Structure 1
Amino acid sequence: MTFRIGFLLYPQLTQLDLTGPAQVLAAMSDSALHFVWKTLEPVPSDAGIGLLPGDTFASCPALDMLLVPGGPGQQRLMGDGAVLDWLARQGGQARWVTSVCSGSLLLGAAGLLKGYRAASHWAYRDYLPAFGAEIDAGRVVVDRNRITGGGITAGIDLALQVVARVRGEEEARAIELQLEYAPQPPFACGRPELAGPALTERVRRRLAADLKRVNEG
């Protein structure tokens, strides 16, 4: 049976939050990917890459899996009734409800993380308890049918875990090999506990400036 996966698009999302897991899930057998926004107009990502929706909230079918990416544009959607209603409706019936990075805060705002352990980007996970979620610092956190990822690149790991659960570990292993997913980060500083306080604070300030720019733009 076709496994229907819906990705929320929105202006100023982080494109790798979406395209990383989408690349994995597009390789999964008998999957159908739906890229969804309010309109079918191109959606600008934070990297300047335009993303083209294929469905609107109205046309998107019932989903087996919902995935919400993060990005500096996430903050503007936290009170957007149309977005939160669609997330609540799709997330309420989907087999799997997932997010990458600060996308978990949108799941939380839609009421989908109450009583669940959840991850987010390290700079934003302290906001999760405001939505009734329990912070988990894991790279990928699975709590029943909620799967939430840490920052950005964690989306690839998350998607491989989904494949393993939906189609079996052998297929997930084959996709990992197909994508030559064997990361070897050159500087080993991709988490605050590895980077140290000075670099972490510098990046935190940079992220805050990016949020300010997007929300004032």
Structure 2
Amino acid sequence: MKIIIYVYNGITMLDAIGPYEVLRNMTGAEIYFVAERIGEIKADSGFIDINVKHSITDMKEADILVIPGSTIGFIEEMKKENVLKWIQEIDKTTKWTTSVCSGSMLLASAGLLEGLKATSHWKPINLLSDFGSIPTRERIVEQGKYITAAGVSAGIDMALFLANKIVGEDEAKAIQLAIEYDPQPIFHSGNYSNAEEKIVKIAEKKLSKDAKKGLGLLGLLKHSKEILKIIK
């Protein structure tokens, strides 16, 4: 089973590594990290790099496509015609096309989510409507072969959800045990609908700071329309 995880500069690393740790444990799984070009990819944190050995020109088909998200890097990716074309072509071969966090923006901008419900991180989720998708604040949204997950940590849930469909409940449960995924958060502020207003404002400030740092002044000017929707 060929699984492609597309990565790019500015990626939120857990968006990719969370699903990877689940999906790699499925029987028969072969996982490939693929980027626009072979070489080093930098995470949005600035602290982690990943050396990618496969480019989009090398990969023509997959059983599963995973598009991770990012704090702000997704905006640059969704304007790359060659990347969007590649996503469209890979999608023609997949059994499942999935995303984590703002990765759904890449699927939407590639025209794959038009008229479909989809989710994303709570901050940029409304951008989905710009591409004819229906923003839906749920942890996981399944629409045919398209599965979108909410922000960052939701990628683990999405991958387990997908594993259950592919290898069955027993193996999916065994994978969950193998990675000891037993979340017991000390706070119940991880869902936008449950978070206090003051907590939302603090989180927004952190995200806005990361967005501005990630793009710089030139990037902010270049992508002003999208940025305003995210950091305002």
TM-score after normalising by structure 2: 0.89
Residues 67 and 97 in structure 1, CA contact (< 8 A), matched pair in contact too: yes
CA contact (8 A) 1:34 1:60 kept: no
Measured in 1, the distance between the counterparts of 2:85 and 2:180 equals: 38
Q: In structure 2, what residue type is equivalent to 1:208? A: S
Contact 2:100 2:148 in 1 (8 A): yes
| Deviation for aligned residue 1:130 | 1.1
Shift of 1:192: 2.1
5+ unaligned residues in a row in structure 1: which ranges? none
Q: Which residue of 1 aligns with 2:11?
A: 13
| Distance in 1 separating the partners of 2:183 and 2:111 | 34
In the aligned structure 2, how far is the partner of 1:63 from the partner of 1:96? 9
Which residue, 7, 20, 23 being the options, matches 1:22?
20
- TM-score, length of structure 1 as denominator length: 0.95
> Aligned to 1:42, what secondary structure does the other structure show?
strand
Tell me how far apart the structure 2 counterparts of residues 186 and 158 of structure 1 sit (CA, whole Å): 22
Give the counterpart letter for 1:140 in structure 2.
I
2:129 maps to which residue? Answer: 129
- 1:5-25: CA deviations, max 9, x gaps? 111110010000000000000
- Residue 225 of structure 2 corresponds to none
Counterparts of 1:92 and 1:149, CA distance in 2? 21
Is 1:82 aligned to 2:82, yes or no?
Answer: yes
Q: Say what the alpha-carbon RMSD is for the aligned residues.
A: 1.2
Is 139-148 or 203-212 further displaced after alignment? 203-212
1:94-150 Cα distance to aligned partner (Å, 9 max, x none) = 111100000001111111111211010011111111111112111011111110000
- Find the residue that maps to 1:34 and give its secondary structure: strand
Provide the rounded CA distance (Å) in 1 between the counterparts of 2:58 and 2:145.
24
Q: Structure 2: where are the runs of 5+ without partners?
A: 218-232
Confirm or deny: 8 A CA contact 1:98 1:146 kept in the other structure: yes
Provide the residue aligned with 2:184 in structure 1: 184
Provide the secondary structure at the position in 2 that maps to 1:204. Answer: helix
Q: Distance in 2 between matches of 1:205 and 1:83?
A: 30
1:119–1:125 Cα contact (<8 Å) kept: yes
Amino acid at match of 1:204: E
